[in-house]
Chains A and B, each alone.
Chain A
Protein backbone atom coordinates (compact mmCIF):
# COMPACT_ATOMS: atom_id res chain seq x y z
CA UNK A 1 0.00 0.00 0.00
CA UNK A 2 1.18 3.56 -0.73
CA UNK A 3 0.74 6.71 1.27
CA UNK A 4 -0.78 9.70 -0.48
CA UNK A 5 2.62 11.32 -0.61
CA UNK A 6 4.28 8.20 -2.06
CA UNK A 7 1.68 8.38 -4.81
CA UNK A 8 1.75 12.09 -5.58
CA UNK A 9 5.32 13.23 -4.95
CA UNK A 10 6.95 11.17 -7.72
CA UNK A 11 4.28 12.43 -10.09
CA UNK A 12 4.77 16.06 -9.09
CA UNK A 13 8.51 15.65 -9.54
CA UNK A 14 8.05 14.46 -13.13
CA UNK A 15 5.29 16.82 -14.19
CA UNK A 16 6.24 19.50 -16.71
CA UNK A 17 3.55 21.22 -18.79
CA UNK A 18 0.68 18.75 -18.51
CA UNK A 19 -2.79 19.73 -17.38
CA UNK A 20 -3.55 18.05 -14.05
CA UNK A 21 -7.19 17.60 -13.06
CA UNK A 22 -7.57 16.57 -9.43
CA UNK A 23 -10.67 15.72 -7.46
CA UNK A 24 -11.96 14.90 -3.96
CA UNK A 25 -9.29 13.94 -1.39
CA UNK A 26 -6.51 14.48 -3.93
CA UNK A 27 -7.31 18.16 -4.51
CA UNK A 28 -5.58 19.61 -1.45
CA UNK A 29 -2.87 16.95 -1.48
CA UNK A 30 -1.92 17.85 -5.05
CA UNK A 31 -2.24 21.55 -4.31
CA UNK A 32 0.30 21.24 -1.52
CA UNK A 33 2.82 19.85 -4.02
CA UNK A 34 2.08 21.95 -7.10
CA UNK A 35 1.28 25.58 -7.87
CA UNK A 36 1.20 25.19 -11.65
CA UNK A 37 -1.16 27.34 -13.75
CA UNK A 38 -2.36 24.20 -15.53
CA UNK A 39 -3.62 22.56 -12.34
CA UNK A 40 -7.40 22.34 -12.17
CA UNK A 41 -9.29 21.40 -9.02
CA UNK A 42 -12.48 19.58 -9.94
CA UNK A 43 -13.97 20.64 -6.63
CA UNK A 44 -17.33 22.30 -5.97
CA UNK A 45 -18.42 20.56 -9.16
CA UNK A 46 -20.17 17.24 -9.84
CA UNK A 47 -18.68 14.15 -8.24
CA UNK A 48 -17.91 11.34 -10.65
CA UNK A 49 -17.14 13.46 -13.69
CA UNK A 50 -13.52 14.61 -13.33
CA UNK A 51 -12.29 12.00 -15.81
CA UNK A 52 -14.82 13.13 -18.42
CA UNK A 53 -13.72 16.74 -18.06
CA UNK A 54 -10.11 15.60 -18.41
CA UNK A 55 -11.07 13.67 -21.55
CA UNK A 56 -12.55 16.84 -23.03
CA UNK A 57 -9.35 18.78 -22.39
CA UNK A 58 -7.26 15.94 -23.83
CA UNK A 59 -9.33 15.80 -27.01
CA UNK A 60 -9.28 19.58 -27.34
CA UNK A 61 -5.50 19.75 -26.88
CA UNK A 62 -4.15 16.54 -28.40
CA UNK A 63 -0.55 17.73 -28.24
CA UNK A 64 -0.62 18.33 -24.51
CA UNK A 65 -0.52 15.68 -21.81
CA UNK A 66 -3.48 15.52 -19.43
CA UNK A 67 -3.36 13.71 -16.09
CA UNK A 68 -6.51 13.04 -14.11
CA UNK A 69 -6.18 12.24 -10.41
CA UNK A 70 -9.41 10.48 -9.57
CA UNK A 71 -10.71 8.67 -6.51
CA UNK A 72 -12.19 5.18 -6.41
CA UNK A 73 -15.58 6.35 -5.12
CA UNK A 74 -15.72 8.93 -7.90
CA UNK A 75 -14.69 6.34 -10.47
CA UNK A 76 -17.47 3.99 -9.38
CA UNK A 77 -20.01 6.73 -10.03
CA UNK A 78 -19.27 6.74 -13.73
CA UNK A 79 -17.68 3.47 -14.77
CA UNK A 80 -19.22 3.84 -18.22
CA UNK A 81 -16.91 6.78 -18.84
CA UNK A 82 -14.05 4.25 -19.02
CA UNK A 83 -15.62 2.94 -22.22
CA UNK A 84 -15.96 6.48 -23.57
CA UNK A 85 -12.33 7.26 -22.78
CA UNK A 86 -11.07 3.98 -24.24
CA UNK A 87 -12.96 4.50 -27.49
CA UNK A 88 -11.74 8.10 -27.72
CA UNK A 89 -8.16 6.91 -28.15
CA UNK A 90 -6.96 10.06 -26.44
CA UNK A 91 -3.30 9.13 -26.46
CA UNK A 92 -2.41 12.11 -24.27
CA UNK A 93 -4.65 11.16 -21.33
CA UNK A 94 -3.59 9.23 -18.24
CA UNK A 95 -6.25 8.42 -15.68
CA UNK A 96 -5.02 7.67 -12.17
CA UNK A 97 -7.38 6.14 -9.65
CA UNK A 98 -6.36 6.39 -6.00
CA UNK A 99 -7.85 3.30 -4.49
CA UNK A 100 -8.22 3.67 -0.74
CA UNK A 101 -11.53 1.76 -0.75
CA UNK A 102 -13.29 4.54 1.16
CA UNK A 103 -15.14 7.80 0.74
CA UNK A 104 -12.32 9.63 2.48
CA UNK A 105 -13.66 13.17 2.64
CA UNK A 106 -16.85 12.06 4.37
CA UNK A 107 -15.00 10.08 7.01
CA UNK A 108 -13.79 6.92 5.28
CA UNK A 109 -16.98 4.95 4.86
CA UNK A 110 -16.34 1.91 2.67
CA UNK A 111 -17.11 2.27 -1.02
CA UNK A 112 -19.35 -0.47 -2.46
CA UNK A 113 -17.21 -3.47 -3.26
CA UNK A 114 -14.34 -2.18 -1.15
CA UNK A 115 -11.36 -4.44 -1.65
CA UNK A 116 -13.14 -6.60 -4.20
CA UNK A 117 -13.29 -4.30 -7.22
CA UNK A 118 -10.41 -4.69 -9.65
CA UNK A 119 -10.35 -1.29 -11.34
CA UNK A 120 -7.47 -1.97 -13.65
CA UNK A 121 -9.13 -5.17 -14.91
CA UNK A 122 -12.29 -3.16 -15.54
CA UNK A 123 -10.28 -0.58 -17.48
CA UNK A 124 -8.71 -3.29 -19.63
CA UNK A 125 -12.12 -4.86 -20.23
CA UNK A 126 -13.45 -1.45 -21.29
CA UNK A 127 -10.80 -1.25 -23.99
CA UNK A 128 -7.95 0.70 -22.40
CA UNK A 129 -4.76 -0.27 -24.21
CA UNK A 130 -2.77 0.11 -20.98
CA UNK A 131 -3.86 -0.45 -17.41
CA UNK A 132 -1.77 -1.04 -14.31
CA UNK A 133 -2.18 -1.60 -10.61
CA UNK A 134 0.36 -0.72 -7.93
CA UNK A 135 0.32 -1.55 -4.26
CA UNK A 136 4.01 -1.07 -3.64
CA UNK A 137 5.74 2.34 -3.57
CA UNK A 138 9.04 1.21 -5.02
CA UNK A 139 7.41 -0.58 -7.98
CA UNK A 140 5.33 2.50 -8.66
CA UNK A 141 8.30 4.86 -8.44
CA UNK A 142 10.48 2.65 -10.60
CA UNK A 143 7.93 2.22 -13.35
CA UNK A 144 6.37 5.66 -13.36
CA UNK A 145 8.73 7.11 -15.96
CA UNK A 146 7.96 4.30 -18.37
CA UNK A 147 4.24 4.52 -17.73
CA UNK A 148 4.19 8.23 -18.40
CA UNK A 149 5.80 7.64 -21.78
CA UNK A 150 3.04 5.30 -22.95
CA UNK A 151 0.67 6.36 -25.66
CA UNK A 152 -2.66 6.52 -23.87
CA UNK A 153 -5.27 6.46 -22.90
CA UNK A 154 -3.66 4.80 -19.92
CA UNK A 155 -5.18 3.77 -16.62
CA UNK A 156 -3.17 3.50 -13.44
CA UNK A 157 -4.75 2.32 -10.22
CA UNK A 158 -2.77 2.86 -7.04
CA UNK A 159 -3.64 1.21 -3.74
CA UNK A 160 -3.54 3.95 -1.10
CA UNK A 161 -3.83 4.05 2.65
CA UNK A 162 -7.02 5.84 3.70
CA UNK A 163 -6.21 9.40 4.77
CA UNK A 164 -8.06 12.11 6.62
CA UNK A 165 -8.59 14.83 4.01
CA UNK A 166 -11.67 16.98 4.51
CA UNK A 167 -13.97 17.92 1.61
CA UNK A 168 -12.23 20.39 -0.71
CA UNK A 169 -13.85 23.81 -0.41
CA UNK A 170 -13.26 26.94 -2.36
CA UNK A 171 -12.51 29.94 -0.18
CA UNK A 172 -9.96 32.69 0.15
CA UNK A 173 -8.38 31.14 3.21
CA UNK A 174 -7.44 27.88 1.49
CA UNK A 175 -3.71 27.20 1.63
CA UNK A 176 -3.75 25.74 -1.88
CA UNK A 177 -4.03 28.65 -4.33
CA UNK A 178 -6.10 26.79 -6.91
CA UNK A 179 -8.92 26.50 -4.40
CA UNK A 180 -9.11 30.21 -3.62
CA UNK A 181 -11.23 31.30 -6.59
CA UNK A 182 -14.58 30.00 -7.84
CA UNK A 183 -14.60 27.00 -10.13
CA UNK A 184 -15.91 29.29 -12.88
CA UNK A 185 -12.85 31.54 -12.49
CA UNK A 186 -10.60 28.50 -12.49
CA UNK A 187 -12.20 27.06 -15.63
CA UNK A 188 -11.97 30.33 -17.52
CA UNK A 189 -8.40 30.88 -16.34
CA UNK A 190 -7.36 27.43 -17.52
CA UNK A 191 -8.91 28.05 -20.92
CA UNK A 192 -6.96 31.27 -21.18
CA UNK A 193 -3.73 29.62 -20.05
CA UNK A 194 -4.19 26.85 -22.59
CA UNK A 195 -4.85 29.31 -25.37
CA UNK A 196 -1.60 31.11 -24.61
CA UNK A 197 0.63 28.11 -23.99
CA UNK A 198 1.37 26.23 -27.19
CA UNK A 199 3.02 22.89 -26.64
CA UNK A 200 5.40 21.48 -29.19
CA UNK A 201 5.02 18.07 -30.78
CA UNK A 202 3.46 15.37 -28.64
CA UNK A 203 5.97 14.65 -25.95
CA UNK A 204 5.89 12.37 -22.96
CA UNK A 205 6.39 13.75 -19.47
Chain B
Protein backbone atom coordinates (compact mmCIF):
# COMPACT_ATOMS: atom_id res chain seq x y z
CA UNK B 1 0.00 0.00 0.00
CA UNK B 2 1.13 3.51 -0.79
CA UNK B 3 0.20 6.11 1.80
CA UNK B 4 0.15 9.87 1.63
CA UNK B 5 1.97 10.34 4.88
CA UNK B 6 4.92 8.15 3.91
CA UNK B 7 5.05 9.63 0.44
CA UNK B 8 5.08 13.16 1.83
CA UNK B 9 7.85 12.18 4.23
CA UNK B 10 9.88 10.93 1.29
CA UNK B 11 9.32 14.15 -0.64
CA UNK B 12 10.38 16.25 2.33
CA UNK B 13 13.44 14.08 2.87
CA UNK B 14 14.72 14.93 -0.59
CA UNK B 15 13.94 18.61 -0.12
CA UNK B 16 10.96 19.09 -2.41
CA UNK B 17 9.73 22.67 -2.04
CA UNK B 18 6.88 22.80 -4.58
CA UNK B 19 4.51 20.30 -6.16
CA UNK B 20 3.17 21.34 -9.56
CA UNK B 21 0.48 19.28 -11.21
CA UNK B 22 -3.04 18.02 -11.68
CA UNK B 23 -4.79 15.49 -9.46
CA UNK B 24 -6.46 12.29 -10.60
CA UNK B 25 -8.17 9.56 -8.61
CA UNK B 26 -4.84 7.90 -7.77
CA UNK B 27 -3.17 11.05 -6.50
CA UNK B 28 -6.19 12.89 -5.06
CA UNK B 29 -5.24 12.09 -1.45
CA UNK B 30 -1.78 13.55 -1.97
CA UNK B 31 -3.19 16.78 -3.40
CA UNK B 32 -5.70 16.96 -0.58
CA UNK B 33 -2.92 16.68 1.98
CA UNK B 34 -0.68 19.12 0.15
CA UNK B 35 -3.35 21.80 0.16
CA UNK B 36 -2.65 22.34 3.86
CA UNK B 37 0.97 21.27 4.06
CA UNK B 38 3.18 23.89 5.69
CA UNK B 39 6.41 22.78 4.00
CA UNK B 40 5.52 22.07 0.38
CA UNK B 41 3.80 24.67 -1.77
CA UNK B 42 1.12 23.28 -4.11
CA UNK B 43 0.53 24.75 -7.56
CA UNK B 44 -2.33 23.25 -9.54
CA UNK B 45 -2.34 23.86 -13.28
CA UNK B 46 -5.00 23.67 -15.98
CA UNK B 47 -3.00 21.48 -18.36
CA UNK B 48 0.03 19.29 -17.79
CA UNK B 49 2.39 21.15 -20.11
CA UNK B 50 2.16 24.11 -17.78
CA UNK B 51 3.49 21.93 -14.99
CA UNK B 52 6.78 21.20 -16.75
CA UNK B 53 7.38 24.83 -17.68
CA UNK B 54 6.45 26.08 -14.21
CA UNK B 55 8.70 23.47 -12.62
CA UNK B 56 11.53 24.61 -14.89
CA UNK B 57 11.04 28.20 -13.74
CA UNK B 58 10.89 27.17 -10.10
CA UNK B 59 14.17 25.32 -10.46
CA UNK B 60 15.80 28.25 -12.22
CA UNK B 61 14.67 30.38 -9.31
CA UNK B 62 16.49 28.10 -6.88
CA UNK B 63 13.66 25.83 -5.72
CA UNK B 64 13.27 22.07 -5.86
CA UNK B 65 9.93 21.22 -7.50
CA UNK B 66 8.21 17.92 -8.21
CA UNK B 67 5.69 17.41 -11.04
CA UNK B 68 2.64 15.21 -10.33
CA UNK B 69 0.42 14.26 -13.29
CA UNK B 70 -1.50 11.34 -14.74
CA UNK B 71 -0.13 9.30 -17.65
CA UNK B 72 -2.80 10.76 -19.96
CA UNK B 73 -1.45 14.21 -19.14
CA UNK B 74 2.08 13.07 -19.81
CA UNK B 75 1.10 12.04 -23.32
CA UNK B 76 -0.72 15.35 -23.81
CA UNK B 77 2.25 17.41 -22.70
CA UNK B 78 5.12 15.71 -24.48
CA UNK B 79 6.45 18.79 -26.21
CA UNK B 80 6.41 20.84 -23.02
CA UNK B 81 8.49 18.16 -21.30
CA UNK B 82 10.86 17.98 -24.25
CA UNK B 83 11.22 21.73 -24.66
CA UNK B 84 11.66 22.61 -20.99
CA UNK B 85 12.97 20.05 -18.49
CA UNK B 86 14.70 17.90 -21.11
CA UNK B 87 16.03 20.60 -23.39
CA UNK B 88 17.17 22.70 -20.45
CA UNK B 89 18.73 19.74 -18.58
CA UNK B 90 16.72 20.45 -15.46
CA UNK B 91 16.78 17.85 -12.69
CA UNK B 92 13.14 17.42 -11.73
CA UNK B 93 11.35 14.22 -10.76
CA UNK B 94 7.95 13.66 -12.39
CA UNK B 95 5.49 11.53 -10.44
CA UNK B 96 3.20 9.97 -13.04
CA UNK B 97 0.14 7.97 -12.06
CA UNK B 98 -0.30 4.82 -14.10
CA UNK B 99 -3.96 4.89 -15.11
CA UNK B 100 -4.99 1.48 -16.39
CA UNK B 101 -2.04 -0.38 -14.89
CA UNK B 102 -4.24 -3.18 -13.59
CA UNK B 103 -5.85 -3.64 -17.01
CA UNK B 104 -2.55 -4.50 -18.65
CA UNK B 105 -1.95 -8.07 -19.82
CA UNK B 106 0.87 -9.91 -18.00
CA UNK B 107 3.05 -9.69 -21.07
CA UNK B 108 2.98 -6.41 -22.96
CA UNK B 109 2.20 -6.81 -26.65
CA UNK B 110 5.24 -6.32 -28.83
CA UNK B 111 4.95 -5.03 -31.45
CA UNK B 112 1.81 -3.05 -30.72
CA UNK B 113 -1.03 -3.50 -33.18
CA UNK B 114 -4.11 -1.33 -33.75
CA UNK B 115 -6.09 -4.08 -31.97
CA UNK B 116 -3.91 -3.70 -28.85
CA UNK B 117 -4.86 -0.04 -28.64
CA UNK B 118 -8.58 -0.55 -29.07
CA UNK B 119 -9.27 -3.46 -26.70
CA UNK B 120 -12.19 -2.61 -24.46
CA UNK B 121 -10.70 -4.35 -21.43
CA UNK B 122 -7.31 -2.61 -21.65
CA UNK B 123 -6.80 1.10 -21.04
CA UNK B 124 -4.72 2.17 -24.03
CA UNK B 125 -2.94 4.91 -22.12
CA UNK B 126 -1.49 2.18 -19.91
CA UNK B 127 -0.40 0.24 -22.99
CA UNK B 128 1.39 3.29 -24.35
CA UNK B 129 2.94 4.66 -21.18
CA UNK B 130 6.14 2.66 -20.81
CA UNK B 131 6.93 2.50 -24.54
CA UNK B 132 6.51 6.29 -24.58
CA UNK B 133 8.78 6.81 -21.58
CA UNK B 134 11.40 4.66 -23.30
CA UNK B 135 10.98 6.46 -26.62
CA UNK B 136 11.31 9.83 -24.89
CA UNK B 137 14.39 8.64 -23.02
CA UNK B 138 12.85 9.52 -19.65
CA UNK B 139 14.30 7.13 -17.04
CA UNK B 140 11.62 5.76 -14.73
CA UNK B 141 10.88 3.45 -11.83
CA UNK B 142 7.59 1.84 -10.82
CA UNK B 143 6.37 2.41 -7.27
CA UNK B 144 3.25 0.79 -5.85
CA UNK B 145 4.02 0.34 -2.17
CA UNK B 146 5.55 2.25 0.73
CA UNK B 147 8.40 -0.25 0.72
CA UNK B 148 9.42 1.07 -2.69
CA UNK B 149 9.47 4.75 -1.80
CA UNK B 150 13.27 4.71 -1.75
CA UNK B 151 13.02 4.76 -5.52
CA UNK B 152 11.88 8.36 -5.34
CA UNK B 153 15.10 9.33 -3.66
CA UNK B 154 17.01 7.30 -6.24
CA UNK B 155 15.16 9.08 -9.06
CA UNK B 156 15.93 12.42 -7.43
CA UNK B 157 19.61 11.56 -7.09
CA UNK B 158 19.82 10.37 -10.67
CA UNK B 159 18.16 13.56 -11.88
CA UNK B 160 20.74 15.65 -9.99
CA UNK B 161 23.68 13.54 -11.05
CA UNK B 162 22.78 13.48 -14.73
CA UNK B 163 21.13 16.91 -14.84
CA UNK B 164 17.94 15.66 -16.42
CA UNK B 165 14.32 14.94 -15.53
CA UNK B 166 13.41 11.48 -14.29
CA UNK B 167 10.08 9.80 -13.61
CA UNK B 168 8.51 7.72 -10.88
CA UNK B 169 5.40 5.90 -12.06
CA UNK B 170 2.78 5.27 -9.38
CA UNK B 171 1.02 1.95 -9.99
CA UNK B 172 -1.47 2.08 -7.11
CA UNK B 173 -3.85 4.59 -5.61
CA UNK B 174 -2.25 6.70 -2.90
CA UNK B 175 -4.31 6.20 0.28
Contacts and interface: CB of A to CB of B under 8 A. Distances in A.
Contacts of A194: 60-62
Given A52-B54, A80-B50, A60 B62 contact: yes
Contact of A184 (B43, B45, B82, B89): B89
Given A81-B45, A187-B90, A56 B60 contact: yes
Contacts of B53: 46, 49-50, 52-53, 56
Given A46-B83, A187-B56, A187-B90, A61 B44 contact: no
B58 A57 contact: yes
A52 B55 CA distance: 9
Interface in A55-102: 55-61, 78, 80-81, 83-84, 87-88
Contacts of B45: 52, 80-81, 84
Contacts of B52: 46, 49
A60 to B, nearest CB: 2
Interface in B21-52: 41, 43-47, 49-50, 52
A13 to B, nearest CB: 25
Contact of B60 (A48, A50, A57): A57
Contact of B47 (A56, A80, A186): A80
9 pairs of A and B residues whose beta carbons are closest in the complex:
A56-B57, A60-B61, A46-B83, A80-B46, A52-B53, A49-B53, A187-B88, A56-B58, A184-B89
